[in-house]
Structure 1
Amino acid sequence: MSNSAPVCTIFVDFRTAFDQLWILGCLGKLRNLGIPSSFLNWIEAWLINRRCFIEINGSKSRWFSIEKGGPQGSVLTPTLFITYNCDMDSSLSGCISHFFADDLAGIMAGQLGINYSSQ
Structure 2
Amino acid sequence: MRGQRGFTLLEVLVALAILAIAMAAVSRTTSSSVQHVEALRTRVVADWVAQNRLALHQARGDWLPTGIQNGEEVQSDLSYPWREEIIATPNPTMRRIVVNVYAPYDRTHSLRELSGYLVQFKR
Q: Same fold (TM over 0.5)?
A: no
Q: What TM bracket, shorter-length normalisation?
A: under 0.3
Instruction: Give 1 or 2 for the bigger CA radius of gyration.
Output: 2
* TM-score, normalised via structure 2 length: 0.23
Higher relative contact order at CA 8 Å, sep ≥6: structure 1 or structure 2?
A: 1
* TM-score, normalised via structure 1 length: 0.23
